[in-house]
Amino acid sequence: MSIERIVMAFAGFMIMLSVALGFSGSPIFHHEYWLYFTAFIGFNLLQSAFTGFCPLALILKKMGKKPGMAF
């Protein structure tokens, strides 16, 4: 799996998890402050689209994962 696909999968998983933890109707609700984490992930995805800087991509590259075309 390429770095781009890992980043997209990880971001999607973290968004779904943080929404589930922050939404009061969820069975795993913890606190509404988790929605700030959702906003942080969205902001990070947006800035990485314009700057090309993604901390997770740097970590994965150092772990030996290969970059590839996302689609």
Average pLDDT, the chain: 92
Which tokens belong to 25? 């109707």
What are the residue ranges spanned by the domains of the chain? 3-62
Cα–Cα distance measured from residue 68 to residue 21, given in angstroms and rounded to the nearest whole number: 32
**Residue 71 confidence (pLDDT) above 60:** no
DSSP output for 8-69? HHHHHHHHHHHHHHH-TTSTT---TTHHHHHHHHHHHHHHHHHH---HHHHHHHHTTPPP--
Q: Provide the percentage of residues in the chain whose pLDDT is more than 90.
A: 89
Q: How confident is the model at residue 30 (pLDDT cuts 50, 70, 90)?
A: very high
